[in-house]
Amino acid sequence: MLQGGQAPSAPAACQAYLETRLEGNILTLRGQGQNNTAQPLHLRYELITSRQGQAGTSRNAQSGSVTLVPNHKTTLSQTSFNVSPADHYQVHLRLLDSNNHVLAHDSLLQ
């Protein structure tokens, strides 16, 4: 039984996932979006990476428009970069609606 008059939360319309794969010193990131509804979703995505290390600082931004098929997971973007154990990096994946409201996000901090 619910307490305090709270309604059960509805499942999110979409989800964002970052998939990572490290091979040697190459980190590959794949941004995924999943539509949890029965209708197509027309969204924008942003995949932003930044890395700081001995070699300096790098930043990469990828974005685009996508239509997510109902009840399906889709690869939105992919990027790779060199990393060393001393590097610090941040990765942010965001799914946005037509009004630039964030509907889903995932991030990785190292």
pTM for this entry: 0.85
78: in domain: yes
6: in domain: no
Number of domains observed in the structure of the chain: 1
By residue range, what is the domain housing residue 57? 14-109
2: in domain: no
- Count Cβ atoms within 10 A of the Cβ of residue 98 and give its class: 0-12 exposed, 13-18 middle, 19 or more buried: exposed
Per-residue pLDDT of the chain (110 residues), as tens digits, is 344 444 445 568 999 999 999 999 999 999 999 999 999 999 999 999 999 988 788 899 999 999 999 999 999 999 998 888 889 999 999 999 999 999 999 999 98
Per the listing, tokens 């610090």 go with 88
7 C-beta neighbours (distance < 10 Å), count: 6
Which CATH number characterizes residue 39's domain?
2.60.40.2420
